[in-house]
Chain A
Amino acid sequence: MIGKCSSCFMIVNGVPNTKTCREPVADGLVVERQRGWVSPPAEQVDLGNVENYEVETDVLVVGGGPSGLSAALKVAEYGYNVLVVDEHFRLGGQLLKQTHKFFGNVELFGGMRGFQIAEEYIKKIGSNEKIKTLTQSVVYGVFRGGVVGVSGKNAHYVVKPKAVIGSTGATERYLDFINNDLPGVIGAGGAQTIMNEYGVRPGDSALVVGSGNVGIIISYQLLQAGVRVKAVVEILPEVGGWFVHAAKIRRYGIPILLQHTLKAVYGNGKVSEAEVVAVDNNFNPVPGTEKRFEVDLVLLAIGLEPDNRFFAQCGAAMKWSPDLGGLVPLRTLDLETSVKNLYVAGDASGIEEATTAIIEGQIAALSIVSKLSDGSRASKAEEEMEKLIRFLWDEYRASPVLARARRGKQLVTVSREEMEKIRSVNPPPVSFG
């Protein structure tokens, strides 16, 4: 979600629709407000000299979050070259703003805080000569012949990979309500970026919409930052997130209003009040139950949607999955899509959580290196992959709190034979390798 919503669009150095949340401050930077649609600049903006490069790599990783980084390290561990491309100026993705301690087991970073996992990954990647990274760079397109275009800072890259791991993550959902464009209404991920990455308190008092783990965790973090959280609003009749997270905010007196939704926000130029309303069992608002809260911050934590743009452009066979948050590529158990040698890992494969994203990244990497290798290296990779697949499906995802994601992922996973059929019926326009 970092840098993927449009909440922070401004005109920077004459360029409209710049995501300011990932634009580092620099001397002489000109930032202007933009309202609504802004026409492209009339004159060409001088971007300085743009260098062109052609890059060959064994593996291209699109997105440097938990799954992408764990994949890159695994590829390098087996001696292959890997290029990681990320839009942000720092690698780590969502890990950068996760200040809570991770669950799981000790081998999978359990007990460490998300940003500490990112720090460890960044350190390992920085000292690994097999891994090249491009930050502030965007994979903008894929072309026939399996060539990938990357637009970087003052540089343009044409990448020819043998395999690609799409670890593109997810975007935050938005919600329709009266005045939802008032400043003060932001995505929970955006607030986490401002607060946890840049150390800026996003407001004084907040209402949080959505009681999934993201909504509850952000409420706790707001409290830590000294923001008063008036309530968490949840449209369903039970808390969305894990009990232990919910208990954490309840102890400090934050109410969770079940079967309630946000009706409107009010304010002169920025949010000063939010109005919530109870809903019946059919999710219809119950007139007369409106309540108003004096807040200057309304955070939307109503779910994520897989970022599937890269897969769609590659022509991967996709399936709509409500359990996984939207349209996701069909894949085999080792996470290969219907585009030969294009893999999917992490939230792009269906919304789940960071530990499973890390495991998926490793599975995709191991499948690729087992294909690139032969002999004992190939069988070692395959063995390691099989072990991870079993752990992921039979142990980790056996948890009832992951039942929905598990069901969703089962429904979009097909056998290798089925995938071959899909490929022959619906041949994708590109392939890699």
Chain B
Amino acid sequence: MPTPSFRKTGVISLEELSTLNLLPPESRLKKGPVAVLECPEMIPCNICVPYCPTKAIKMEKLIDLPMVDWNKCTGCSVCVAVCPGLAAFVVDLSKEDGDYVTVPHEFLPAPKVGDEVTLLSRTGEKLGRGTVTRVWERNKTYVVTVKVPKGLGMEVRAIWVEK
């Protein structure tokens, strides 16, 4: 099997996510917030499974990829908080005024609701500015929801708070 390109770059494409059944279908994405678990390697980890409050994540063996039941997933973002790999995100493409992306954030100062922050892609490319709409914390990981320009919901994967 050839080495997948994400192993060379540390960056995964939407096509690769889709091939691995890690991408919610278009119809589900348009309905409201939903988890996107960018977890393409069979690492020995199942932390998201017991923590999911709606039991939407399935894994038979410890090394399986997490399979989300998109209909059970409510986009609550608990997986974003607990994923040790910081590989869980929640995306909401259903709103008119913009896309909403929830990312894990482990830098200080902690972002606050209303902050204008820099939006970063999977490669660290600056994608413009967004507004923080929700922040909560669990064991030193901030779970931050940002409103981003329409169309960037599947691209923004981190934020940076300018000091």
Contact = CB atoms under 8 A, between A and B. Distances in A.
A245 B107 CA distance: 16
Give the bracket for the number of chain B residues in contact with chain A.
35 or more
A402 B45 CA distance: 12
Interface stretch (B23-31, B67-75, B90-98, B120-128): B120-128
A244 B107 contact: no
Interface in B128-148: 139-141
Given A106-B50, A250-B123, A399-B44, A243 B158 contact: no
B77 interface: no
B63 A399 contact: yes
Contacts of A55: none
A247 B47 contact: no
Contacts of A401: 41-44
B62 to A, nearest CB: 5
B114 interface: no
Interface string B10-37: 1110000000000000000000000000
Contact of B122 (A106, A247, A396): A247
B139 A113 contact: yes
Contact of B41 (A102, A110, A243, A250): A243
A396 B44 contact: yes
A246 interface: yes
Give the bracket for the number of chain A residues in contact with chain B.
35 or more
B47 A105 contact: yes
B7 A104 contact: no
Nearest to B38: A247
A238 B5 CA distance: 9
Interface string A239-259: 100111111111111101010
A111 B82 contact: yes
A252 B43 contact: no
Contacts of A110: 45-47, 84
Interface string A96-131: 000011111110001111001000000000000000
Contacts of A238: 3, 7-8
A38 interface: no
Contacts of B86: 244, 247-248
Contacts of A113: 139-140
Nearest to A237: B8
Contact of B46 (A105, A224, A250): A105
B41 A106 contact: no
List of 8 A-B pairs having minimum Cβ-Cβ separation, nearest first:
A253-B124, A246-B10, A244-B85, A103-B45, A101-B84, A251-B158, A250-B10, A399-B63
Interface of A: 100-106, 110-113, 116, 223-224, 237-239, 242-254, 256, 258, 355, 395-402
